[in-house]
Every structure is written in structure tokens, then in C-alpha cells.
Amino acid sequence: MKVMRSFQEKGSVAYAILHEKLVAILRNVDKGELRDILQACYEGGIRVAEIALNSPEALHLLDLATQQYGAKMIFGAGTVTSPKAAKLAIQAGARFVITPVVLPDVIQTCKDEDITVIAGAFSPTEIHQAYSLGADVVKVFPAASLGASYFREIRGPMPEIPLAAVGGVTLENGAAFLRAGAKVLGVGSALTPKDILYRKDWEGLKELARRFKELTISC
């Protein structure tokens, strides 16, 4: 009997992520600017965001984000490399966990905790392994280096695996990844460029968020 995956269940976090098609990757964010950044992202149409755990005070930022915008947005933890880190992130409010590579123990921890897990992978073997271990979505990284055609080729033999394009995704190449078969875009520096954060240009950030959101809607 075919087992239903969480991304097929309406109301699940995985389903919501695939519906939104867009995850904002927040790394090295100043906690004093977190509210402004989240507000700009939200007003631009973004509903899912990842706090990278290799950022200063990441767990505190995750907790703050959940307190401030948890009723409006879905927050998760990225760059999770151990079961302990996964559990700490979940305690801080993470509703999904993202790993940089295939980490069976982290995937299992998330399944045990009933938390959506997006596992990082590179090769076809790793993509298949991550999904077989229970990943809800597989993050293909670095997407820009591999190119959109890589996603099209992977989808041929493995059409059932939801793929997220992460790493070098921009307004210029994002549509190509979605048209090639990626179900989700993970966007970091192209959404929160250093110059915009330095100038505290929240209107500029909102406009970038809006353009990324429109891109996902058009594909």
C-alpha cells in the first residue's frame, strides 16, 4: 500500500511550504532588525522563513520570530547538523528543519518529533537516499552551480520527489528552476542583500519580497 507523505496532507507544514513555493533564508540577521525584516517580508507576500543556525544567537532569533510573527508566518531552522540542534530548534519554535546534507540521524529525529524535514542533497543517489529516509522535501544545493536542467533531468526518473532549489537563486534564474521541476525556491542573499540591510531599506526589501512572490505565482 502506498504511504501518504506529509506534503500531500492539507494543513501540514510541508503542504504549506510547497503551496507557497518560497522560503526566505535569514542568516546573520541583527536581532534589533528582525521585526523590520519580517514585516517587510510579510508585506511583500512571504509566508515561510528559515533562520540559519550558523548565525549568532540563532535560537534566540527563532524564538523571537515565532513570538512576533508565528501567527502569520511559518518559521524553521536551517543548517541543522545534529539531532541535538534539531531538538533545540524545535523547542525554540521551529516548525520545520533543514539540513545542509543527508543526515540520517537528523531526519529520524524530525520524524520522531513529527516535524517537517527538508534534507540537503547533491547527487541523484543522495536525493533518493534523503527521500527514502523520510525527508518531506529534498533541497538540491548548490542549485545555481548545477543549473535548471539538472532539476529537469532528476525529475525524469524521480518525479515523485519534491525538490527545492537552494544556493544562488535569484530573480533572474528562479523561474527557470520552477519550470524545470523545482517545487520550492530557497532565497537568501538575493532577497536580503547586504546593502539593503546596511541602509535599513525596508521598502526595498519589501519590493524584493514582492517580486520573488510574483515570480513563484507566475510559474
Question: Could you list the pLDDT tens digit for every one of the 219 residues in the chain?
Answer: 344 556 656 679 999 999 999 999 999 999 999 999 999 999 999 999 999 999 999 999 999 999 999 999 999 999 999 999 999 999 999 999 999 999 999 999 999 999 999 999 999 999 999 999 999 999 999 999 999 999 999 999 999 999 999 999 999 999 999 999 999 999 999 999 999 999 999 999 999 999 999 999 999
The residue written with cell numbers 518559521 in the block is 75
**pLDDT for the residue 187:** 99
**pLDDT for the residue 7:** 60
Ranges of each domain in the chain: 6-218
**pLDDT for the residue 11:** 76
**pLDDT for the residue 33:** 97
**pLDDT for the residue 1:** 34
Q: Which fold has domain 6-218?
A: TIM Barrel (3.20.20)
**pLDDT for the residue 3:** 46
